[in-house]
Amino acid sequence: MAKPLGVGIIGAGAERGWAKLAHVPAVQQLAGLEIVAVASGSQAKADAAAKAFGAKASYADGKDLIQDPNVHIVTIAVKVPDHRDLVLAALTAGKHVYCEWPLGRNFAETEELAKAAQLCECPRGRRPTNTRQPCASSCTRAGSLWSDRSAAERSSPLHHRRFWSKG
């Protein structure tokens, strides 16, 4: 049996938030994935989240989580203004990225992040054909980027530009 892919969740809170309500339960139900690290706004909150979700590591800074060699997939579950820097850091580190919707603060930022993901190295020459595919089961390339509008709708802003207004 293959070793599970390590998932790190930035914005994990033991008390409330989308990570607790949606991301953690989803990861825990998927074969081949394991929550190995969490990051929150303070070390105390991160420690509480790690204990609640069974993660081995906890960080007060999401960029420290990104550098953890046991993290293969970075889930970004923080407020939208913080998405850009974290997504770019994770892509630069060669991590798969799953980011909450909306991916960017506006259409231009979303395009920037999509282009950054396209420029990442693809070790096997594969590029995902659908950004809604879960990376653990469909792609082995580092630097993959997924962002869904919601888990229920499975609608990606990269594919549905009507969500973004240029004016």
- Number of domains within the chain: 1
The two structure tokens encoding residue 124: 């096997």
Domain of 35, CATH number, reads 3.40.50.720
| Strand pairing class (33-39; 5-10) | parallel
pLDDT at 109 over 50: yes
Would you state the pLDDT for residue 47? 98
Instruction: Tell me the pLDDT band of 2, cut-offs 50, 70 and 90.
Output: confident
Q: What average pLDDT does this structure show over 116-141?
A: 47
Q: Please state whether 94 falls in left (phi above 0), alpha (psi between -120 and 50) or beta.
A: left
Map tokens 């973004």 to a residue: 164
Instruction: Tell me the residue type at 139.
Output: C
Q: Domain range for residue 67? A: 5-163
Q: What average pLDDT does this structure show over 113-119?
A: 87
pLDDT digits (tens, 9 = 90+) for 37-67: 999 999 999 999 999 999 999 999 999 999 9
Q: What average pLDDT does this structure show over 124-152?
A: 40
In angstroms, the CA 107 to CA 116 distance is 14
In angstroms, the CA 160 to CA 125 distance is 26
Question: What distance lies between CA 158 and its chain's CA centroid?
Answer: 15
